[in-house]
Chain A
Amino acid sequence: MLANYLKIAWKVLLRNRFFTFVSLFGISLTIGILLVLATLFDQISGTHYPENPDGYSLMVSKINLNDGKGSNYVGNLSYNYIQKYVKQMQSPQNVALFASGAGLTAFVGDKKLELRRSITCENFWEVMKFDFVEGKAYCKTEVEQNAKVVVITRATRDAYFGEGVLATGKYLETYNNRFQVIGVVENVAESQRYLNADLYLPYSETLTGDRNYIGGFLAVLEGGNRSAIGKMKEEYLDVVSRLDAELKKDPIDGSYINMSSHAVSKLEDISYLFSDNSKKPAVGIVIGILGGAMFLFMLLPAVNLVNLNSSRIMERASEIGVRKAFGANSQQLTVQFIIENILITLIGGLIGLGVALIALGLIESTGIIRHAQLGLRFNVFVFAILICLFFGILSGALPALRMSKLQIVNALKGIRS
């Protein structure tokens, strides 16, 4: 039965090349664009190098202080806050701290090299799974001794020491400092909002002189297994509510009496772009907005396909008439036409996949997102098949219903009802 439907669908596809082209063009580009967008979204929301895929980690990136009268003070975490409160938690199996973002300038001859540096603790190298091209990471003693060592990325090495030159043991000079390179890691994509850097330095006490809760650090909480995620969230909320209660008696800066902060996954962190970051993360809103935008985007090509298919009913009139005369009911015909449409959509989806791969390759080669590896991942592929089915049903249902409702006599005569 199904094989027959597919065979008929194939013949119909070949019958009128122009219409097939129009249908496939719309479907494949729609799906191609959606795949590109999905991949880009996955780049910022999914687990990617150098994160550990088996780490089940959460991140605490922000603390929100509030004076109850509308004045907010939002920032990253201070070193003391992480040491005193986050590291004391029971549920995480490991806690790492790091600061992202600040720039550093080095000079190679007369050329200026702008580098992004991240300051980290030694645990950072356990929680993250960096690929070392050469050398190794710094350890606890080096951090404690305030050693002037640095782990650089491959791109930094190539720019500073020369393409492929071994750098371990050599010195990298910024205009006011001199660091010994002890390791070289693979480049980190710019889409890693917090983790991307050109060089990683051990933190030193001179950089951490803040007394407040708010400072320049972020904390990564490694759970180790799926069930730990919920526990870590709960425990961290407990810690924050305890501190919040203390603030009521002894406000920070004499005025900040409320505090909020959350241990969040990457997707939850992104949801804060759309919602108040003193509240719990609202992933539903992000999914809703993205889903809505996707639906709107697919609507026009789908309506286009509906119109096209509807106007071609008469091409199939004699076939429908004969099948109905021999006892096929409306439901069977509807199913057949929907399957046909899904087949077209899947073919379109396959072309779309190719379009997406080419587009992603182009985006990668322009270097807009530095060091990004924009491959299609399995979850994006599953997503592709799902949108194909959705698109196929969306655009096939109405024409199929119309076709199946044709009167036998009219259908055989070729007259529109």
Chain B
Amino acid sequence: MIRQAIKLIWNQRRKHLGLSFEIFFSFLVLFAVFSFGFNNLDKYLQPLGFEYEDIWTFQFNRATQNDSLALAIDEIVSQQINNYPEVEAMSFCNYNVPFSGSVNTTLVGHGNTAYDTQIHWVDDNYFSTMQLDLIAGRFFGAEDRAMAKIPIVITEDLANLLFPAGDALGKTLEKIEDVDEPQQIVGITRNYRYKGGVMGVPHAVFFQKQPQQILPNILLKVKAGTGAAFEAQLMRKLQQIVPESNVEVKYMTDMRDEYLLLSVVPVLIFSIIGGFLIFNVALGLFGVLYQNINQRKQEIGVRRAIGSAKSEVTKQFVLEIMVLASMSLILGLFFAIQFPLLEVFELKPEIYLLAIGFAIISIYLLVIICALIPSRQAAQLHPALALREE
């Protein structure tokens, strides 16, 4: 029966060119939408590696070019803020806080094994403020100040990539960017997905703030339920210390929502457009098949007259369209399989394969539904009526 169906389709291949092109193209659209969607879902489901609830952040302008004055200001600010019972922890860090969109990347490693990595300059309180998860070693602290080497903490994926033997702790990294002193790994944390949402797993290295270093950003971990009243109080206090500081406090929960929206909107638009295209194709396919099957009434009549069951007739038409779809899918697969093979767009191969699987199932479902209704209708026809039309 399948051989028969293939023969029938093959004999009419020119007539079916348009249909196969449509199915082929639909497959590619579905493949793209599924890859995109699954990729984002996969990233979204991975743990962030930090807590964003009740974290406030703001840039702090010391309004002075004098470094020692700025350090003195930092000292006072740190004291004053830590005095508030509402504040649980506080940290100075660089611009690239989670969800800020600000980045500071460099290549870590050498040659082929160099990885794009975020550099976070942070003080000792950063880890407790952001509640990072330590896997091995320790976070740096006051005791590291005496060391000749700069203590660093790196994320687990980077540690495994750089030191596949699993002995990253205590190792020294080669010179990174502008830092002249050698850096020693003292701790390894869970992956730190500072952009959250649907961003991939970036590698990160945390550097200990040097005694003379001025860091522009302040992070606060406040008690749950602390609101605008305390914020106003805090701002007034900061303004007393530095009148020109133009502080704008941001809540990390808001920043996260904004970031998530930015990453969800493209998925949504892409899915709506893809969905519309496929629905359009479904309607068209239904129309074409309806027309084609109705033109073959004589054939149906003959088959029914010599004893074929209704289900046999239906089966034939469904089988035919499945053969046609399979031919287009083979061509589509040829293109789609290049993506995992050539590692285009740095997506995981599993995601491409999953997307291919889902796209194939969707296409078969689509053509079967579109063929089932008109072929059933045609099979219901009484043989005498079908033949009379001749």
CB within 8 Å of B: which residues of A? Answer: 18-19, 22, 25-26, 29-30, 33, 102-105, 107, 110-112, 114, 175-176, 297, 299-301, 303-308, 310-312, 314, 368
Contact = CB atoms under 8 A, between A and B. Distances in A.
Contacts of A300: 22, 25-26, 29, 277, 280-281
A26 B277 CA distance: 8
B25 A22 contact: no
Nearest to B21: A303
A304 B291 contact: no
A104 B239 CA distance: 14
A181 B231 CA distance: 25
B13 interface: no
The 5 closest A-B pairs by CB, nearest first: A304-B284, A307-B18, A311-B291, A112-B228, A103-B248
B97 to A, nearest CB: 15
B306 interface: no
Contact of A175 (B25, B26, B235): B235
Given A105-B247, A305-B284, 6 more contacts: A18-B290, A175-B247, A303-B21, A303-B25, A307-B288, A311-B287
Nearest to B242: A176
Contact of B22 (A25, A175, A303, A368): A303
B280 A25 contact: yes
B239 A175 contact: yes
B276 interface: yes
B232 interface: yes
B235 A311 contact: no
Given A22-B284, A29-B276, A300-B29, A307 B228 contact: no
A308 B68 CA distance: 78
Interface of B: 18-19, 21-22, 25-26, 29, 227-229, 231-232, 235-236, 239, 243, 245-249, 265, 273, 276-277, 280-281, 283-288, 290-292, 295
Q: Which among A18, A299, A307 has the highest number of chain B CB atoms within 10 Å?
A: A307
A300 B21 CA distance: 9
B276 A304 contact: no
B291 A29 contact: no
A307 B284 contact: yes
A33 B284 contact: no
B291 to A, nearest CB: 4
Given A112-B228, A175-B236, A22 B248 contact: no
A312 B18 contact: no
Contact of B232 (A103, A114, A175): A175
Most buried by A among B228, B247, B285, B292: B228
Contacts, number: 86
A26 B278 CA distance: 10
A329 B284 CA distance: 30
Contacts of B286: 22
* Residue in A102, A112, A297 whose Cβ sees the most chain B Cβ within 10 Å: A112
A299 B288 contact: no
B18 A306 contact: yes
A208 to B, nearest CB: 14
B249 A297 contact: no
B143 to A, nearest CB: 37
13 contacts: A26-B280, A102-B248, A103-B248, A104-B248, A105-B235, A112-B228, A176-B239, A176-B245, A300-B26, A301-B280, A303-B22, A304-B22, A307-B288
B390 to A, nearest CB: 11
A308 B284 contact: yes
B89 to A, nearest CB: 22
A306 B20 CA distance: 12
Contact of B295 (A104, A308, A314): A314
A46 B239 CA distance: 42
A103 B228 CA distance: 16
A303 B22 CA distance: 6
Nearest to B24: A303
B304 to A, nearest CB: 22
B273 A176 contact: no
Contact of B18 (A297, A303, A314): A303
Contacts of A301: 277, 280
A26 B287 contact: no
B335 to A, nearest CB: 14
Contacts of B276: 29, 33
A19 B29 CA distance: 24
B280 A105 contact: no
A305 B284 CA distance: 7
B380 to A, nearest CB: 18
Contact of A299 (B25, B247, B291): B25
Contact of A110 (B229, B265, B287): B229
Given A29-B276, A175-B232, A297-B273, A307 B19 contact: yes
Listed residue (B25, B273, B286, B291) with the most chain A CB atoms within 10 angstroms of its CB: B291
B238 to A, nearest CB: 9
Nearest to B229: A110
B378 to A, nearest CB: 15
B101 to A, nearest CB: 13
Nearest to B284: A304
Contact of B287 (A19, A105, A299): A19
B18 A26 contact: no
B62 to A, nearest CB: 15
